[in-house]
Structure 1
Amino acid sequence: MVDNDSADSTLDVPGRFADAPVSVHTIGCSDHDEGVAVRRGIATSRARFVGFVDADNATPIETLDSAMALLRDGHAAVIASRRAPGAHYDIEQSAPRRCGGWVFRRLTLPGIADTQCGFKFFDGPLVRGILGDCHVDGFAFDVELLARMMRDGHDVVEVPVAWSDVPGLTFSAVRHGLRSVADLVRISLSRW
């Protein structure tokens, strides 16, 4: 678990898993950008498979079963998708969030229907080798990671999900929008 100066009870979480079959520990990250924290967690891990999921449970955790099966079959990355065939919304997103998703889809990765569903898992050694080339720290960090994987010829598989919108989004179009669009343009240009 990566703690980037949380002000809530995040630091209490590992104690709840003291008897779990997989140990849970905390590493610090003083940078408040999401991309920095996630990259630090992935880089610190030595696991065969590594990934991240939004803590709001918008993507059902059962999606992990199909993701792990695909990774074991040799796929480089498995991401949840609200737009893959068979996916649906249990609770629909607001119009502004749908609009923001449309912008991300238009400016990013051809062939990927949904880059912003907060559930992405990877072949651990492969993704750790790619992290050194990643520099986007904000909300588009995962788009850059996927773009670099695809540029290097690795596959990204989308799995359909029954997704639920959950209030409390930390992304703000006013605070983060311009930076995110600039990051997306930079990612798009660097792919070629």
Structure 2
Amino acid sequence: METKTKVVVHPPLPAPTTFRMSPTRPRSTVDLEIIVPAYNEAERISTTLLRTTEYLELQPWSSRVVVVDNGSSDDTGSVVRRLSREMPGRVPISLIGCGRPGKGAAVRRGILSGTSRFTGFFDADMATPVETLGVALEHLEMGAAAVIASRHCPGSSFVRHQRWGRRLGGMAFRALTRSMVHDVHDTQCGFKFFDRRAINQALVQCRTTGFAFDVELLHRLQCEGGRIIEVPVAWTDHPSSTFRPFRDGAASFSSVLHMHKG
């Protein structure tokens, strides 16, 4: 007797779901856009935004502050969203995310998503006085490609010094980068502002995402003929910095050595 095999036809499997990050909504054009890369900055981001917007509201140029949440595990994003709704005044605060780790990645995403004539970044700890923006804008208006705060050029000072370990590491790092970024005393101070035309061209070529990002960015600016102005500042070290000397310091040295070989 012949046995018939029953064929079971299964319905086709659903196509795998593709997850995409929603694009950053275009922001209206202003004269100056300030990028603040933030990683677990919930405790101090309120003070940073209040001090910054209070200063900006007194200036003749239009401006915006853009906080880039670099994968924070605390309430950084919630705090920024609340302040953007509650704070009065003519200086808007925007929040965008950056899933790729590293200060360089956060700064790159923030700057390239904007359209302002001038743009730049400073650290959430505000180690450099916000009033330095006035000097930076003057130089940018006169044609500089970049204006950077410096802790080591003539006229600078320290309100509070770093610990000895970080100071020694900084000296070694400056010696290593001297041949890559010419006539610049301090590549790592977290306050840098740019002409949009110069910075966009340099940024799209940058590959470094960590703390050595500043070196590559300034190097590429100089290779394109951009003029970099150093501004002396009274700088204050904050012990709660997210920079970790051993891990981040070693990674930064490795990145710069790789740039030398390239």
Measured against the shorter chain, the TM-score band is over 0.9
Map 1:33-72 to 2 at 5 A. 33-72=102-141
Moved >3 Å (runs of 4+): 17-20
Q: For the pair shown, which has the larger CA radius of gyration, 1 or 2?
A: 2
Identity of aligned residues (%): 46
Residue 93 (structure 1) aligned to one of 162, 167, 177: 162
Q: C-alpha offsets along residues 91-144 of structure 1, whole Å, 9 cap, x if unaligned?
A: 111111111211221111231101111100011122012111100011101110
Higher deviation after alignment, 12-21 or 76-85: 12-21
**Greater fraction of residues in helix:** 1
Structure 1 portions without partners, runs of 5+: none
Instruction: Sort the Cα spacing of 1:162 and 1:34 in 2 relative to 1 into closer, same or farther, 3 A.
Output: same
Deviation at 1:176, TM superposition (A): 2.1
The answer to whether 1:152 aligns with 2:234 is no
Q: C-alpha offsets along residues 25-69 of structure 1, whole Å, 9 cap, x if unaligned?
A: 111111221111110001101111111111112111111110111
Q: Which residue of 1 aligns with 2:173?
A: 104
Contact 2:84 2:94 (8 Å CA) reproduced: no
Q: Which residue of 2 aligns with 1:7?
A: 73
Instruction: Between the two structures, name the one with larger relative contact order (CA 8 Å, sep ≥ 6).
Output: 1
- May I ask how many residue pairs the two structures share in their alignment? 190
Q: Which residue of 1 aligns with 2:188?
A: 116
- TM-score, normalising length from structure 2? 0.69
Structure 2 portions without partners, runs of 5+: 1-66
Contact 2:198 2:226 (8 Å CA) reproduced: no
Distance (Å, rounded) in 1 between the aligned partners of 2:250 and 2:218:
21
